[in-house]
Chain A
Amino acid sequence: MNLRIIGALISKDFALFFRNRFFALVTVLGIVAYTIVYFVMPSSVDESLKIGLYAPVMPPVFEQLQEEGLEIEVVESDEALREAVTEGQYMAGVALPADIMEKLLLGQKTQITLYFASDTPEEIKDAVGVVIRELAYLQIGQPLAIEVSEEILGPDMIGMQIPPRDRLRPLFAIFIIMTETLGLATLISEEVEQRTIQALLVTPMRVKELFAAKGTIGVGLAFGQAVLFMAIVGGISSQPLIILTALLLGAVLATATAFLIASVAKDLMSVTAWSIPVLIILIIPSIGILLPGTLTGWVEVIPSYYLVDTVHQAANFGAGWGDVWRNLLVLLGFNLAIVWIGVIALRRKFR
């Protein structure tokens, strides 16, 4: 392979890519937009139900309550409680009547007032009601002969929950990488559409050098942008080598996919027509990260699953090589297969 020729082709494609100022600007703006969305989203997860409590007479059970997921703060007055709830300081306010202990001891029903802000979801209202009811049961000492043992499945993330924006990181990274599929497939199909490929084919350039150049530019752009984004949003701080390896393999996947699309597409419109369903399929595994449990085993036939899962595990759970080597191996296998098919298909088209 002639490096001089490959270098000439890469320089040309690089110039063409950025020569279209709109295209170049939007590529940059895309990264900027994703970054802004990332930083606008909340950086932490509120794990607790924050409840304000006003109790002229404090029942012992309420006073001694220590439960993960429940924060009860005592407020001086009913007025203060209502104000705090309206301002959003608490998800709910509980106002106990002054005679609660008397009534409970006498076995009489007592009425508890719950305050909610107008935009509180219904499920929160129900949850608070259930909690208060249970506290009341405990206060009157009504026994329940059940023994509950807990078994945590998977790493226990209490106090270390992954914020939604960090769950979105693999999705954004894969979006950036896969969008380059469209860009590269367009570059290739334009060469065929404008017949510049013929001009190249009657020079000392060999087809494999053309593929090498297109592949380099495709992988380079996709990888570069994804790394830049992940670096900005702190996605590389945990297990950087694993993440970089996964992103690199992802960039190869995008490039190979671009070859395949370019081999069947005739012009920019058909590149877009083919690219969008392919992109949607490749993005599906990211939904499994956003919505755990929504996707079952079938998603593992999609090559990007191994990219997304690796990035998610490494970036959000600090997974090591021992945890992700299988993913990377499968991803590599997919890449080799798709590259091979893409090159053969494209070679046929160039003939």
Chain B
Amino acid sequence: MAHDAIVAEELAYWYGELVAVDHISFRVAEGEILGFLGPNGAGKTTTVKMLTGLLRPKAGKALLLGMDVTKNTKKVHEKIGVCFEDTNLYEQLSAVENLRLFARLFGRSRFNANALLKAVGLEGREKDKVEAYSKGMKRRLMVARSLVNRPEVLFLDEPTAGLDPTSAESIRSIILKVRDRGATILLATHDMMEADKLSDRIAFMNQGKIVALDTPHNLKQQYGKRSLKAKVSTQSGELEDREIPLDTQETPNAISELFAQEKVVTVHSEEASLEDIFIRITGRGLVE
């Protein structure tokens, strides 16, 4: 049975009057990817900061690999990697120098920076100063840095934000490789497609609370509505949309009527997206 790599119990944090994280609890098993999905300001980054020891929770407890984060912060830090939302590299140093610095901090004496840079697609640019890198390259270096110590738990905060599809896809494949070697990953994002693709389970976060936590499939099953979408041609030759919810008693008759009375051009079934589910649950979108 997999042990829990991350345990959050009634975690809370507030900035003055503003409650950023409102007594949330969850567990992440070893080797699992948990996606934290929510709009900006939902409390994802604050949660990550509490779990990584950057913020001391105002209430509740966080355990990483069985260790209390507050009491054993530095021991925890030896085992985790963090890729922050904001790029925070030493821009005047090269990629290799950035990685080697952190390798030394982690006590990795035989560290092959070039191999790691190759793995994230930065070979050939190792010795260039980071300030000359593009946004996508910097994000890849950020991910590489978070992997310097071969962490057992990896925190990724918006790892692909603002990236082109190619760069984003390359980072996702790196994430999956890290999971495949046994690491536990907490992925905070507002990109529902990314969460859907990568996460074993997803926690919907809104206004500091976890409003739903399950596998993507179960969430869609529980909250999503399947429908039949069709395009029909009118008498004037224009195309119009038709939608028939599936899984209702009226569904068979509705479909029969559609085909009998309309000139159907195309038809396909559709699952609800995570964004639709999120809207359904919270009444707001993931991106506002």
A/B contact in complex, CB under 8 angstroms: yes
CA distance A66 to B251 in the complex (A): 129
Q: Mark A193-206, 1 if CB is under 8 A from B, else 0.
A: 01110111111111
Are B74 and A5 neighbours in the complex by a CB distance under 8 Å?
A: no
**Which of these, B54, B86, B93, B97, contacts A201 with CB under 8 Å?**
B54
Are B90 and A16 neighbours in the complex by a CB distance under 8 Å?
A: yes
CA distance A15 to B102 in the complex (A): 15
Main DSSP-derived SS at the A contact region: helix
Q: How far is the CB of A7 from chain B (nearest CB, A)?
A: 8
Q: How far is the CB of B134 from chain A (nearest CB, A)?
A: 18
Residues of A near B89 (CB, < 8 A) are 196, 199
B84 at the interface (CB under 8 A from A): yes
Are A202 and B97 neighbours in the complex by a CB distance under 8 Å?
A: no
A294 at the interface (CB under 8 A from B): no
Residues of B near A5 (CB, < 8 A) are 104-105
B106 at the interface (CB under 8 A from A): yes
Are B106 and A202 neighbours in the complex by a CB distance under 8 Å?
A: no
Residues of A near B105 (CB, < 8 A) are 5, 8-9, 200, 203-205
CA distance A203 to B101 in the complex (A): 11
Main DSSP-derived SS at the B contact region: loop
A20 at the interface (CB under 8 A from B): yes
Are B77 and A204 neighbours in the complex by a CB distance under 8 Å?
A: yes
Residues of B near A8 (CB, < 8 A) are 101, 104-105
Residues of A near B88 (CB, < 8 A) are 194-196, 198-199
Residues of B near A200 (CB, < 8 A) are 105
Please name the residue on chain A nearest to B107 by beta carbon: A4
CA distance A204 to B77 in the complex (A): 5
Please name the residue on chain B nearest to A200 by beta carbon: B105
Are B92 and A16 neighbours in the complex by a CB distance under 8 Å?
A: yes
A202 with B86, Cβ < 8 A, contacts A5-B105, A16-B93, A20-B92 known:
no
Can you spell out 20 A-B residue pairs with CB atoms less than 8 angstroms apart? A4-B104, A7-B104, A9-B105, A12-B97, A16-B90, A20-B92, A194-B90, A196-B88, A196-B89, A196-B90, A198-B84, A198-B88, A199-B88, A201-B54, A202-B53, A202-B80, A202-B82, A203-B149, A204-B77, A206-B74
